[in-house]
């Protein structure tokens, strides 16, 4: 278990708190996987954003038959933000 620290933005918090319970539960589950797996979390849960200048990635959440995408990157200490 890697225990990555997750740092969120105000934009993420606003988006997350506007989700309904089912979507929020799906996001919490995937963020939990990211906390546990850190940089080793791979497809289908996480994938690289092609063409990004920094090593940007996305969490790929499925909820109610539709995708929710959460962009993130790791800082030099390997924390997700």
Q: Where are the alpha helices (DSSP H) in the chain?
A: 10-17, 21-37
Instruction: Give tens-digit pLDDT for 47-67.
Output: 999 988 888 999 999 888 899
Among residues 9, 28, 2, the alpha carbon closest in space to that of 73 is found at 9
Contact present, 12 and 81 (Cβ < 8 Å): no
Q: Parse the chain into domains and list their residue ranges.
A: 10-72
pLDDT band for 6, please (50, 70, 90 cuts): confident
- Kindly indicate the confidence band of residue 1, based on its pLDDT and cuts at 50, 70 and 90: low
**Residue 25 confidence (pLDDT):** 95
pTM across the whole model: 0.82
């Amino acid at each position: 278990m890697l225990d990555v620290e997750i740092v969120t933005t105000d934009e993420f918090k606003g988006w997350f708190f506007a989700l309904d319970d089912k979507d929020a539960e799906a996001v919490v589950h995937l963020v939990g996987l990211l906390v546990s797996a850190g940089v080793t979390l791979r497809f289908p849960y996480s994938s690289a954003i092609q063409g990004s200048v920094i090593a940007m990635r996305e969490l790929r959440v499925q909820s109610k038959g539709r995708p929710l995408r959460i962009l993130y990157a790791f800082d030099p200490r390997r924390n997700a933000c």
